[in-house]
Structure 1
Amino acid sequence: MNVTRYERSHLPGVQAICAAEDWPSLSENTERAHAVLTAPGVTTVVAVEHDEVVGFAYLQSDGHIQAHLSMLAVRADHRRRGIGRALLEYAAPLTGALRIDLVTDTAGDFYKSLPHRTYQGFRIYPG
């Protein structure tokens, strides 16, 4: 398995993972997804095994202090093999940030296994 920066050739694999997770934000529109994954201040990395994307992480950062882990997913048939951790370890220094915040509703045990502090959080949906 190799972890590397996202390139457009990885997009079908990222979209397939998002579709499998029922995350329509990136899986529904190819051009929008690529624009989001390569936007200024964004760090996107992928885990590739045998030329197939098996996981990805998408982070947004100010490049100095704060980063936000917006999405991290590993294909269901590749979980519990250290891929999520490898994605975060590779991506974190690329953001330039001192800390990474995130919201999760399904992977609390995974994130608790990392050095962290727990805070109460909210997701706001404007208008």
Structure 2
Amino acid sequence: MTITQYVETHLPGILAICTAEGWPSLPADPVRAHAVLTAPGVTTVVALDGEQVIGFAYLQSDGHIQAHLSQMAVHPDHRRKGIGRALLEYAAPLTGAQRVDLVTDTAEDFYASFEHKTFSGFRIYPG
């Protein structure tokens, strides 16, 4: 397994993982997805098994203090092998931030395994 920064050739693999997870936002528009994954302040990394994308992490950051883990997923056939941890440990320093915030509804035990503080949170949908 290799962890590396995202390039456009990784996009189909990321979109396939998102589709498998039931996350429609990125697969709905691949051009927009690539723009999102490479936007200013964004760090996107992938886990590769040869050329196959087996996981990815997408973080947004101010580059100094705050980063937010927006999405991270590992292909079901490759879970519980340390890939998620490797993705986050590789990506977090690249953001330049001192901390990473995130929201999860499926992986609390995984994220609790990192040094952390737990806070209450909200997702607001404008308009």
TM-score class, shorter-chain normalisation, is over 0.9
Distance in 1, matches of 2:27 and 2:18, equals: 6
Deviations 1:57-98 (A, max 9, x none): 000000000000000000011000000000001001000000
Deviations 1:92-113 (A, max 9, x none): 1000000000000000010001
Residue matched to 2:92:
92
**Deviation by residue 1:43-68 (Cα, 9 ceiling, x = unmatched):** 00000002100000000000000000
1:24 maps to what in 2? 24
1:36 counterpart letter in structure 2: V
Number of equivalent positions: 127
Q: In structure 2, how many angstroms separate the alpha carbons of the residues matched to 1:51 and 1:10?
A: 9
Q: 1:46 corresponds to which residue?
A: 46
The whole-number CA distance in structure 1 between the counterparts of 2:29 and 2:99 is: 30
Q: Distance in 2 between matches of 1:78 and 1:114?
A: 20
The CA RMSD over aligned residues, in Å, is 0.4
1:36 has 2:36 as partner:
yes
User: What is residue 5 of structure 1 aligned with on the other side?
Assistant: 5
1:70 and 2:94 aligned: no
User: Which runs of at least 4 in structure 1 moved beyond 3 Å after TM superposition?
Assistant: none
1:20 Cα deviation after fit: 0.2
TM-superposed CA distance for 1:7, in Å, is 0.2
Unaligned runs of at least 5 residues, structure 2: none
Where structure 1 has 5 or more consecutive residues not aligned to the other structure, the ranges are none
Aligned counterpart, 2:58: 58
For residues 105 and 8 of structure 2, the distance between their equivalents in structure 1, rounded to whole angstroms, comes to 28
Distance of 1:28 and 1:52 partners within structure 2: 21
CA distance in structure 1 between the aligned counterparts of 2:43 and 2:50, rounded to whole angstroms:
23
- Residues 16-59 of structure 1, C-alpha deviation per residue, up to 9 Å, x if partnerless? 00000010011111100000000000000000002100000000
- Using the alignment, how far apart are the partners of 1:108 and 1:95 within structure 2? 22
